[in-house]
Amino acid sequence: MMTFTHWQQHLPANHAIYALIDPLADNQPLHYWFRHASDTQAWPLYGGTEFTDDILHGPGLLPLAQLADWQTWWQEQESTGQAQGVLIASPYPVEQLVRHWQSLLIAGLDGEEVLFRYYDPRVLAPMLTTYTETEICHFFGPTTSLLIWEQADWRAYSPYAKADLTEHTEPWWRMRPAHFVGQPGEKETCLTNIAQWLWQQAPELTTQQYEKFGDIRYALDVHYDELSKQAIPDLWLPSVLILYLFGFHDGWSGIQNVVALPPEAEQTDVMHKVIALIEKYQQSKMQEDDGQ
């Protein structure tokens, strides 16, 4: 079994280690970082891109050297099964790494440009196993080594770094059908998307549930199989799952009567309305409790 310590000990002394993190991951790495780091300098990868307005919800490079006793932190991630991040190592300037990983945020897929969530190990880990040696070298650019958490174990990749592959004036990475072998199925994708949407759109409510149940995705998973048997339309399923997450188990029979939707409504429209109803309910409940 690969361990973080083994990977780190075999890196050259001139290599800096960075966490390539998804701030919406259930283990909330940014929250931990800003509570414990001796310095809070980080490089948000959405900065200076078309996603700048959403900078706090995008990936970032965090230098582990800023975090006191960072070896212990990542070992704790291993033992609790929450090692959701990706670690990279390189001797090159951080600005060079930032430019390269920013250039991968948009990729080509079937003639379209799409957001590439490579910073989520559930997306990247199965993809890396499909890449050719040449693709690995190009994808990593100036990154000398990468450690990624996959199925309760670390997997390490250490290609020959292509330091010159850092400047790109347009989307250059192309995703092919072969790259999607082993990707999460419909259920896994649905639960992951809902959990990430909740962290982004309703962080306070989501934190409350996280403190009660832990991993939000797992808490949603408890209800998925039951609800998927009820022939709930795709438009409504994420919202009904959210209602069950917050303890409203009569959600499907009652929600249709209180949520009016235009014909062109999308899943996120329903989800926003459901969150507003939950917040309204909690506020009224607090007022009742204060009045007693």
What are 137-153's pLDDT values in tens digits?
889 999 999 998 776 67
Helix (H) or strand (E) holding 45: none
CA–CA dist 46, 154 (Å, integer): 26
Would you state the pLDDT for residue 92? 93
| Kind plus residue range of the DSSP H or E element containing 29 | helix 29-36
Q: Is the CB of residue 202 less than 8 Å from the CB of residue 217?
A: no
pLDDT at 131: 93
Report, as ranges of residue numbers, the positions in the chain whose pLDDT lies below 70. Answer: 1, 24-34, 37-40, 69-71, 73-75, 77-84, 151-152, 161, 163-169, 184, 251-258, 260, 263, 289-292
Report helix, strand or coil for 278. Answer: helix
CB 270 within 8 A of CB 238: yes
Residue 103: per-residue pLDDT: 93
This prediction's pTM: 0.65
Give φ, ψ of 261 to 5 degrees: -125, 140
What is the gyration radius of the CA atoms in the chain, in angstroms? 21
Q: Are 240 and 252 in contact (CB under 8 A)?
A: yes
Given a contact cutoff of 8 angstroms between Cβ atoms, the answer to whether 62 and 19 are in contact is yes
pLDDT for 128: 93
Task: Give the pLDDT confidence score for residue 187 in this predicted structure.
Answer: 80
Report the candidate in 67, 71, 45 with the shortest Cα–Cα distance to residue 56: 45
- Residue 292 has what pLDDT? 60
CB atoms within 10 A of CB 124: 18
